Structure 1
């Protein structure tokens, strides 16, 4: 089922100006507006959150806004620069999120994420990650995902949450309570509808179409049908000028999996030739299938490092053919290297006496495209004595930084995400527990080793200035081994709560 994300940037013009100004930008809490011309009048075309909180509204005369807010920062509108920056942002999202992305001027981006959400940990994680990355870059954003562009667009702009997920299915309930402005109607039409008593989208859905079409023309019915999934609304994907791309149109639509696989192989051969001419390898390939009903289907594969092996790329793409719904047939296939990087020629090994490191990138690519890139990672050491801070997840083929874990004391094979409290019987201050109860099961201890004292990192948090943990390796009567610690030195309450926690399990 098709899924579409609408990304809404409510303060796009002002956020862009702040980013461009850099260190010279107005303070974050300083009200900023963008002013343009409507005929001979200068009006506010965009206002940031600080200005809006003080009563400034889009469409307000600039002179009135200045009189209303003391110290108001004013910048001239530049719609062309806004549109150009929005396209650059769409290209950035194209390279990182999904194969079909388009700008939705003046302040939005639409993304067809069908079949791509699992690569980002699901729809909720995908939306949170996208909104979070933009927020870190100084861009306020809201996002919604639904079966249609119309519903996603409406939820992103008029729902209360910053990230909304509409359940699959063309149910009108998610947008029934939203105002009629959420339908992307022509200017003036929402006001005319309100005069007739139509306040919400739900008021329009139950109405006969003929009287509405006679009064307002076909636009109103078309927008309703698009939102409810009754009419197609294709997304014209953005394509950078430097994109490496090949396509194949068919006189007769194709639909059989074997036929699609055969033409995938031909397209991969063609794009590898272009990549070789540029001295590049593909890091991300997108196959877009244009159906006869104007709907698009897309699949995406990613590689851990640049690849120009036609057989390998064809296999990765063909593994996802089952996710393509050809409908009544596919009339065009487009294959593009959304992300390509330089690929240096490698010397082939011709002598049995020569040895090379095994290349596991093919295996990593296969697994990552099945379960998602985030699910394939490697644990790398971090210079920290605090156990939960001593490890970090890195890409499976990330270069080795040369760091290593301390080997003076053994560490458990499994470290709990957060230490869990346990009930213990122990002599203070330095004796290990005699028994402990974890998850409702009491375990008697047969052997123990410790304590290993770990001090807090006072340079990171004041609360860890004198914090202490005493770790013990223990073995119960069943032979199972655990890693427990006491928060504190067993004497001074200022060093910790003196409670016991389990932090890991030895293999």
Structure 2
């Protein structure tokens, strides 16, 4: 596969090809070559986001365009088990994201860059300079300069670094000498780090340690108010928050809550934390508390209800938040829409606090054909008296109880997806909404169109209750 800019190759993943080669020549050399149009702006944005992700390893990281990253691990490698362990963890995490990478650690950026791109990578011993057997491209020279140096007989860094600098500078300019000095560690090479994404958080320290739930509630109210003010200025709402209790003995405890939609209601968020204070063990006392927004999403202002537009629809999100807070996220779910006409395939369960989700999303069913609240799985067979092909049932028997039909509406024909049909699946279903003499409403269907045996066996089933 190759990525092209215009009609030349920008990146390649096929043997025998190289960046800069024309697309026509590449297609002639590799029949059936898969071609993708390059997106330099999109690649640069993704690389910047990847550099932000690398801040987990060190406070200084920067993109090395077009396809590299700088990470200054000075003084932080021991936090990850050493330089070798850090590199291993970095490469494995990138592989988990579908990115193949080769990494190196060295005293200078120039040596790390060269060993990562033109050698096997790994940890370069302290004080070591750039290996002399690496190609000239490891010095980050242009293709034109590298080609002219090869015409002069230089194809490796070692022989080039041993010659006098003055003639090289007069012919190729000062950049070549600068690259050689950077490779030898004689010239400092700074990197311009990315700024970490500003996290919305607030912290309060105490003169005397706190140990009672009443004191914690007062502090929670202040922290939540501070965080909500910052969220409003940023035009965002919190989806996940973490409250840390820093104890006098140096240990810490954390409470984490989530919301069904972006929220910056201080009273609601404070109540959710207060309901879980029984899980906190203050120990010898809490000397500080920190509230941080782990996940936030955009939240703008909306028009509320007024006498002109009528009453507002009920907001179920606060209720859902409190249920999840008390019962656990695994016990509360919402229904997400699936693109299928088959009723049992048209919805699925998903986490109610998953980012991007909403408890009041778009309708899961067609507005002109109401669906029952409860579906039976699998549909239950019933005995029906009805006139074929399109008349509704006159009565039906389910679990040895006969129900006389007072009102009926239908049929609604559902054929399902043709690519999912098999011998055991239906070809056609005709659905009817039924009300019996006692006012109970049912959802029945006949398997088949009522006239052609090839569309189904004409058996009836009870599928749900209204």
Larger Rg: 1 or 2? 2
**TM-score w.r.t. structure 1 length?**
0.44
Larger RCO, structure (CA 8 Å, separation 6 or more): 1
